Structure 1
Amino acid sequence: MKESFSIPFYAADLPCPLPTNSEIENAPDISLEYGGRRVVGVGQHFVVKFGQGVDLAEGENMLFVRENTNICVPRVFALYSDTKTGKSFIIMERIIGETLLAAWPRLTQTEKQNILSDLRIQFNEMRQLPSPNYFGSFGKRKLLDGIFWTEEPDPLVNGPFDSEESLNEAMLRKYSYNGGPHYRVEYLRKCLPLIFKGHKATFTHGDLQRKNIIIREKLQQDDERTRVVLIDWEKSGWYPVYWEYCMAVCALRWDDDWPIWIDTLLMPFVSEAAWLQSLRLELWS
């Protein structure tokens, strides 16, 4: 498998010339600005995520998945940074459709089953990517989920990690970093190895929510691609195999039947989900 891509990256085959930075800055927002990031639509062909909070590793994740699987992700047309502004740019294919979150209330049970079946095929294929000898982002770099974030670089918290034990310890270090009680940390240090053990590193999307799933508009009759497209690969990387399910559970709002379908899409890790959700609530309470 390819372990890195040359940055800046520019695709050879473009539907039209790439937008300029000025065109991007003045384009209409698709989603709210957050964490030093904006997502805008530029014309009919491009969506751009850009800002000082953008990590180009997200674009590399998408290139990696497209190159090694049949999972449907937007094409990446360019990855680069502007040294003058400190902003990074991910220019990608604009998928015409609506999110599964928007479509969900009007879907029939049969339509939900068909969509979940397509998603299950894609996530099962993701699970089959060969496991490396580390837990970290693509290219053996730090993990990008917020639970491993520190203001200043700290490899003992950020990763990558050579073992699940080191990853567990990183979560405890982050707990201390956030000011968590010392005795709580010592208690968790006894508990976590009993729950988070024996899990292989598995390539993970990391943010399975309906807002990150686009149902494309009706395909042409000869188009064999799936209608379901996965977006927002910002947190993706090699995590323990339980991580995908646990993050999906942590994001549940419990206001409709979506939680019932999660167990039909992903292998359940119920104990791990309960512990990780509790830990995340404590970290961000």
Structure 2
Amino acid sequence: MHLADTIRWFFALPDPAVDRSAMTRAELRIEAFQRQRRTPFGRGIIRYHIFLESLPYRVHGIVRIIWRATAGRWLWIKCADFAEIEIANMRYVAKHTDIPVPRVWFTYKWNNREYIVMDRIAGITFDALRGGHLQDGDKQDAIAGQMARHMAQLRALPSPPESSISSVLCGPVRCPRLFQDPLYGPTAPSPPTGPCKREATMNLQLRHLRSLETFDPIVVAAHSTAHPLVFTHNDLVPRNIMVDHATGKVVAIIDWEYAGWFPAHWEICMMTNWERQSIGLGWRGWIPKILPRDKLAYAQDLEADALLLRALGVPEHHASDNKCDS
């Protein structure tokens, strides 16, 4: 082998004697890759490119290890779509009740995303606790009693003057049951909706802007009833309840991005009808313990909401107060 051929082989250079004019770009890349695989230098280049591609993941893994060993032992970082609303909700609840919520330290933006830095909660989710076969009856009663007291406090908060169905900032609310933009699909974050000055506007949206007279009597009766506005978590499910495994103490209620002022029946409707799509029937047995009066008080509303959800699904259009017909 001549010196020039040796150099060309070692560095995986193309053979000038081969006509490549008819080859496509993809075929040229495949041929170059095959040449590189046959030489030590070429294989080194391939490994170098693989290393460069994996470098961000390696750095991310190292950063995670360092974070968990240091500040991550006390702090939790959450990527939030509407950080301002969630922070306002948590601070409002912490100020006016003794419900345990994470303390917010600060927020920041990176890559056009918002992040909330808050306390890390020492505990496990109630979902994990139930998955571990929570058999202790006394512990079950203790958890249910604590949650019932917390929800009673939340629902006793006085609504602001001239209140509407809105966030604690008096602006739009987020609720996956109320609105889903069809352009982004069902897995996208729930877009804002409202605020609604009247409950009838929210009902009209749930009916997909259809006249009330076209529905079953149970829907007519439910949507003709006015409810007081109460502060509502709106996503109260086992994954958002943090519990101390040893004592059964509820150490935090988390994920307040959907919270706001809603009609009094809405919490149990979300817990019973909406979350049944992703949570086992075992959770439904806990709902009367957490909201002991609501199942009887709002039986009609529960049935009407379930009927609408089965028949129509999630609304894809907003209702406005000036077009409300009921």
With the length of structure 1 as denominator, give the TM-score of the two structures: 0.71
Distance 1:245 1:256, change over 3 A: closer
Could you tell me which of 93, 112, 120 is aligned with 2:140? 112
For 1:25-44, list aligned pairs within 5 A: 27=64, 43-44=72-73
Distance 1:190 1:81, change over 3 A: farther
How far apart in 1 are the matches of 2:279 and 2:250?
A: 26
Aligned to 2:323: none
SS of 1:47's equivalent in the other structure is: strand
Confirm or deny: 8 A CA contact 1:59 1:79 kept in the other structure.
Answer: no
State yes or no: 1:139 paired with 2:169.
yes
With the length of structure 2 as denominator, give the TM-score of the two structures: 0.62
Aligned to 2:196: 161
Confirm or deny: 8 A CA contact 1:169 1:189 kept in the other structure.
Answer: no
**Cα deviation, residue 55, structure 1:** 3.9
SS of 1:148's equivalent in the other structure is: coil
Distance 1:25 1:207, change over 3 A: farther
State yes or no: 1:76 paired with 2:104.
yes
For 1:234-249, list aligned pairs within 5 A: 234-249=257-272
Unpaired runs of at least 5, structure 1: 1-21, 29-40, 177-181, 220-225
Aligned to 1:259: 284
**Cα deviation, residue 193, structure 1:** 4.9
Unpaired runs of at least 5, structure 2: 1-58, 184-191, 316-326
Aligned to 1:195: 222
How far apart in 2 are the matches of 1:88 and 1:25?
A: 22
State yes or no: 1:96 paired with 2:122.
yes
**What amino acid is the match of 2:139?**
E
**Cα deviation, residue 145, structure 1:** 0.2
Aligned to 2:90: 62
How far apart in 2 are the matches of 1:209 and 1:114?
A: 17
How far apart in 2 are the matches of 1:110 and 1:270?
A: 29
Offset from partner CA, 1:194-238 (integer Å, 9 cap, x none)? 20322011100011111110103558xxxxxx5341011121010
For 1:171-190, list aligned pairs within 5 A: 171-172=206-207, 175=208, 187-188=214-215
Distance 1:262 1:81, change over 3 A: same
Offset from partner CA, 1:3-37 (integer Å, 9 cap, x none)? xxxxxxxxxxxxxxxxxxx9899648xxxxxxxxx
Aligned to 1:231: 254
Distance 1:140 1:187, change over 3 A: same
**Cα deviation, residue 113, structure 1:** 0.6
Confirm or deny: 8 A CA contact 2:218 2:304 kept in the other structure.
Answer: no
Aligned to 1:223: none
**What amino acid is the match of 2:306?**
Q
**What amino acid is the match of 2:205?**
A
Offset from partner CA, 1:67-113 (integer Å, 9 cap, x none)? 1111111111113434xx22111111100111111112233222111
Confirm or deny: 8 A CA contact 2:88 2:169 kept in the other structure.
Answer: no
The count of aligned residue pairs is 232
Radius of gyration: which is bigger? 2
Distance 1:54 1:189, change over 3 A: farther
Confirm or deny: 8 A CA contact 1:46 1:91 kept in the other structure.
Answer: yes
**What amino acid is the match of 1:86?**
N
How far apart in 2 are the matches of 1:23 and 1:140?
A: 39
For 1:15-34, list aligned pairs within 5 A: 27=64
Structure number having the greater strand percentage: 1
SS of 2:73's equivalent in the other structure is: coil
SS of 2:142's equivalent in the other structure is: helix
Aligned to 1:9: none
Could you tell me which of 89, 113, 116 is aligned with 1:87? 113
How far apart in 1 are the matches of 2:262 and 2:62?
A: 34
SS of 1:147's equivalent in the other structure is: coil
Distance 1:147 1:188, change over 3 A: farther
SS of 1:141's equivalent in the other structure is: coil
Distance 1:72 1:91, change over 3 A: same
**Cα deviation, residue 262, structure 1:** 1.1
Distance 1:125 1:147, change over 3 A: same
